[in-house]
Amino acid sequence: MASTQALSAAAQDRKARLAQLKSLKRKQPDQEANDDSGAPAPKSPRNDSKPDVTATYLSGRNYDAETKGAKLGFENAPSEGQITLEKKAALLAEETKRQQEEEQAEKPLDLFKLQPKKPNWDLKRDLDKKLEVLNVRTDNAIARLVRERIANQQKLAKEKAG
């Protein structure tokens, strides 16, 4: 309870101070007008024209007083004039491309690199097609021999037991 009373009292004090500041702000332009009429100031080109309201009340953070509009982005890039990692990478990429182009222009076409590594690759390709049939027959023959051996062993085991 005591804390809520202290908070409400602080809020009331703040409201009173804000109201006092508002009233002082309202009275300030009137006092300037009275000061000007009492003692004339020396005339200058700025005093003849009305003071710019936008310059008085707007901070210029997001508002451009010259164009009387919002500031749109940066006038200059924040990294302008600095060497960034992206710029270094782009320069390196351009340099490597240029070196590759120079190497390709200097060297003639190497015919040995175009040949296959093994000169009989086409023969092996054709042979693999023919060997597929033979591999199936070989697998079947091996399976038949294994079955026959198992059958013979079972037959011998029955003869010894019986």
Give the domain ranges of the chain: 1-36, 85-109+123-161
* Threshold 0.85, pTM exceeds: no
Q: Contact 52/59 with Cβ under 8 angstroms?
A: no
* Local structure of 63: helix, strand or coil: strand
Pick from 4-13, 137-146, 149-158: least confident:
4-13
Which segment, 67-71, 102-106, 107-111, 139-143, is predicted with the most confidence on average? 139-143
62 against 42, higher pLDDT: 62
Does the pLDDT at position 60 exceed 80? no
Q: Contact 24/30 with Cβ under 8 angstroms?
A: no
Does the pLDDT at position 92 exceed 90? yes
Does the pLDDT at position 139 exceed 90? yes
pLDDT of 109: 72
122 against 112, higher pLDDT: 122
Q: Which two tokens stand for residue 151?
A: 């059958």
Looking only at the bridges linking them, the beta strands covering 69-70 and 63-64 are antiparallel
pLDDT of 37: 54
Q: What is the DSSP string of 26-60?
A: HHHHHHHHHHHHHSPPPP-HHHHSPPPHHHHH--S
Indicate the pLDDT class of residue 30, thresholds 50, 70 and 90: low
Listed in sequence order, the DSSP H helices in 39-117 are 45-48, 53-57, 85-106, 111-114
Of all residues in the chain, the percent with pLDDT exceeding 90 is 37
pLDDT of 44: 47
> pLDDT averaged over the chain?
81
